[in-house]
Amino acid sequence: MRGPAPTSPREQAAASAPPNQTQSVLEIRDLSVSFAAASGQLMAVQHVDLTLAAGEIVGLAGESGSGKSTLALGACRLLRPPAVITGGRVTYRGRRVGAAGVEILEQSAHQLRSLRWREIAIVFQSAMNALNPVLRVRDQLGDALDAHLDLSREQRRERLTGLLDIVGIPRERLSSYPHELSGGMRQRVMIAMALAVDPELVIMDEPTTALDTVVQREILAEVAELQRELQFAILFITHDLSLLLEIADRIAILYAGRLVEVGTADEIQHRTAHPYTRGLLESFPSVRGPRRELAGIPGSPPDLRAIPKGCPFQPRCRFARSECHGVDMQALPVPGSSPGHISACPFVPPAFAGPMGAHVVASVPRVEETR
């Protein structure tokens, strides 16, 4: 499977260089987003720190309403009023923008247009709603090419057919309208559109929602193969933690707009450190190992207009104690784990982070292992 060929000597040099996974391509620091409402400020995202390395897949998981999409759209300056970014920094460092990087929150509208899609692309939720129903596939794919690349008619045609080739869609579908495509094909068109001009970061916001299990696995396998070949970083957003265990290098868990745990997929699966993460793991069945009763998480996420003091999860947590009301939600390293494994719960003993986490769910095979 081949991606579109680089169109300039600079791109060819960048494409031939191995990715430096120690350098961050995106740094989110202390980002906060609120929504103005008649009853007061709704704090959707609070003081989030998150880093993506070049060529890395980072999963962002949490229940509906936890702030996942708001965080991603806020980092790209795609939120509309009444949403307001109340604080923080977002720095993008791609190979084409230089080592100093770009402060996204300080960019003008014109500067953002040159950054979006060329450097940072998005696969939105619900392809049927994201695609324009009155434009053919070729026109929608061509928009990004025309905005960012200077191609001849022949180069443009080769690029369009190449994009369909890499996502497994017949070339004749370039003349189709979105309603003439299946759900899986529409999602593949969205992925092809995101990859049209070789971005270094792709944000995938629930890209497999509403697809059946077979099509979902096909899409995930294609995404994993494309990422390995083209070496772009991915921020993969979903409420399905079991899915992230298959594809992500690292996973960040979001609850009520706060990061509660970040770790590698193995650490999240086998050395769970936060009670909310454990609840998510207990909420889906395992296809391997002994049968177990699904526990789930009691109650509902808090009203973001009146988040409880201290840990917002404590009203639903079976390990809650009186001290939880005074927790400052600062994520700290988990004892006995790697430095990158952090949790916002200071009361979890190492024993809970070890064997109990491993007992929660049997090993989940990676996508590439099942192909």
| Per-residue pLDDT, 155 | 96
Q: How far apart are CA 97 and CA 92, in angstroms?
A: 8
Pair of tokens at residue 123:
């696969």
Looking at residue 216, its pLDDT comes to: 83
Query: Tokens at residue 213, please?
Result: 């299990």
The Cα–Cα gap between 74 and 64 comes to 17
Which residue in the block uniquely carries the two structure tokens 């995930």? 220
Flag whether pLDDT at 226 surpasses 80.
yes
- The residues, any chain, with a CB within 8 Å of residue 32's CB and separated by 6 or more, are 43, 45, 46, 47, 48, 85, 86, 87, 88
Percent of the chain with pLDDT over 70: 87
- CA 248-208-161 angle, 5° bins: 95
Q: What digits encode the pLDDT tens for the residues 28-47?
A: 999 999 998 888 889 999 99
Is pLDDT at 59 greater than 50 in this prediction? yes
pLDDT at 366: 53
Q: What is the mean pLDDT of the chain?
A: 86
Q: Looking at the DSSP assignment, which residues form a beta bridge with residue 149?
A: none
Q: Picking from 127-141, 238-252, 356-370, which range would have the lowest pLDDT averaged per residue?
A: 356-370
DSSP state of 14: H
**Could you report the per-residue pLDDT of 182-206, keeping only the tens digit for each?**
988 999 999 999 999 999 999 999 9
Nearest to 329 by CA among 274, 268, 371, 287: 274
Task: Single out the residue of 188, 158, 26, 52 nearest to residue 105, CA to CA.
Answer: 26
- Which tokens sit at 107? 């960019």
CB 195 within 8 A of CB 5: no
Relative to beta strand 233-238, strand 201-205 is parallel
pLDDT per residue over 306-346, tens digit each?
888 999 999 999 889 999 999 999 999 998 889 999 999 98
Q: Please write the tens of the pLDDT for every residue from 159-178.
A: 999 999 989 999 999 999 99
CA 263 – CA 253 distance, rounded (Å): 9
Q: Is the pLDDT of residue 4 over 50?
A: no
Percent of the chain with pLDDT over 90: 62
39-48, 204-213, 249-258, 343-352 — most confident range: 249-258
- Residue 133 preceded by cis peptide, ω within 30: no
Task: Decide if pLDDT at 20 tops 50.
Answer: no
pLDDT category at 22 given cuts 50, 70, 90 is: low
Q: Cα torsion at 97, 103, 109, 114 (round to 10°)?
A: 20
Whole-model pTM above 0.75?
A: yes
